[in-house]
Amino acid sequence: MRVIFKENRFAGGARTVKGTVTMRRLFAAIRPPRPIRQRLLAAMGGVRGARWLDEDQLHLTLRFIGEVDRHVAGDVHAALGAVHHPVFEIALSGIGAFERRGQPTTIWAGVTPHEPLKALHKKIDQACLRAGVEPDRRAYMPHITLARLGRGGGPVQARIEDSGALTGERFAVDEFRLYESELGAHGPIYSLVASYPLKRDPAG
């Protein structure tokens, strides 16, 4: 499965439900810089049945917005443009896994520190709320998805214990992005809708 990133500023490409309501499936995310993506790719492998993501799929979700009509989508875009947050730095921090009923479902790369990411998530969530989107009621856990596992996948513990090398120097987060997700013939297509720069002045 391959994800294609293309630029899309709410011009066409929308999904129409029952011929009347145009819906957009949106999420806000951070796109790691290329050197970080290369490190993530190099850390993949070694788990039976894992469906590893490719470079085009790697992102750190800040807020899954979900399906909204085109008017709300425009309001979300405007609200996100008013989000003010200073530039900050994060670093990769090992590998972990989500489980369901004791079975691993997702392998992810951790990041640290969490505090600036959670603060930005909160501001984005508040912006979405002003745009008419329901608040995010789930606990926010910053991570970058690396692989998904079906039944019979794993085990993952050895891979997690061997993930100490997935650390490094911090990298700057100087923007966040709004993406639209559409299901294509060969998997989801992520369209870049807009980028929102963060403030260079940390005191701002």
Residue 101 pLDDT grade (very low, low, confident, very high; cuts 50, 70, 90): confident
Mean pLDDT for all residues in the chain? 84
Alpha carbons within 13 angstroms on the beta-carbon side of residue 102 total: 0
Instruction: Enumerate the domain spans of the chain.
Output: 4-197
**Is residue 18 over pLDDT 50?**
no
**Rounded to the nearest 5 degrees, what angle is found at the Cα of 161, between the Cα atoms of 158 and 162?**
85
Residue 110, CA distances (Å) to 73, 141, 164 in order: 30, 9, 11
- What CATH number does the domain located at 4-197 have? 3.90.1140.10
- Identify the residue whose tokens are 């993530």: 40
The pTM for the full model equals 0.84
3-state DSSP percent of the chain in helix, strand and coil, to 5: 20, 40, 35
Residue 14 pLDDT grade (very low, low, confident, very high; cuts 50, 70, 90): very low
**Is residue 58 over pLDDT 50?**
yes
pLDDT tens profile 146-175: 998 877 676 788 777 776 678 878 999 999
Residue 188, token pair as written in the block: 């989801």
pLDDT tens profile 81-91: 999 999 999 99
